[in-house]
Amino acid sequence: MVNKISYGAYPDKDEFAHLYKTHTQRQLCKIYGCSELRIRKWIIYFGLELRPQGGGNNHKFDIDIEELKSFVESGRTNDDIAAYYKMSVSNLNRLLKKHGVKRYYNTKEYHKYARKVRLFTESTYAKYIETINPDNHPRTLCGVENGYQLDHIVSIRECFDSGMSIEMCADVSNLQMIPWERNLQKRIFKKEISK
């Protein structure tokens, strides 16, 4: 769900300032359903400090490259890895390129699988909404107060890697409603690397 702000209007200053501390401008665009230009305008209007390009992460990172490689090999997404290291995705991409870290799984097949799972998941949710979401929690994007998200208990990536069928991955038994904060944390930290 998007907190769409009508043209010429401004979001709540306190809410926006709070979200700006922990979100990139691109993420704020998704939350408010607008362009980065508009987000930048609000930052200036509210007197917030503009971060340099790259989300304020234009500094050298002390990162263990072997750990970074293991994260990539485990199938963690660039968004998850960037959040783990508290850097922008663009800085992460530069690091991956600099150190020659590449993904070797079949991206095309995984994305095809994930798309189908999400379609099946929405059908399952519509059919079993009273079982999955008995308290009628609002489904939202990250950053929306009291918002919840539909979560795959066993992640789509794990289902794909283990050869689970699309139908089983999207089954009602694999779905739950959890607060967006918990879902975000789960995405970032769920796939811990076994040493």
Q: Tens digits of per-residue pLDDT, 34-79?
A: 888 888 889 988 988 877 554 444 445 678 888 888 888 777 777 7
Mean pLDDT confidence for 86-104: 79
Distance (Å, whole) CA 61 – CA 78? 16
122/91 same-domain check: no
Determine what percent of the chain is predicted with pLDDT higher than 90: 24
81/147 same-domain check: no
160: buried, middle or exposed (CB in 10 Å: 19+, 13-18, 0-12)? buried
179 in a structural domain:
yes
69 in a structural domain:
yes
195 in a structural domain:
no
User: Which domain, by its residues, includes 80?
Assistant: 65-98
Task: Give the number of domains in the chain.
Answer: 3
Does 1 score more than 70 pLDDT? no
15/42 same-domain check: yes
pTM for this prediction: 0.46
144/115 same-domain check: yes
126/183 same-domain check: yes
| Residue corresponding to tokens 């990536």 | 157
Q: Is there a contact between 2 and 141 (Cβ–Cβ < 8 Å)?
A: yes
Distance (Å, whole) CA 35 – CA 44? 15
Does 31 score more than 50 pLDDT? yes
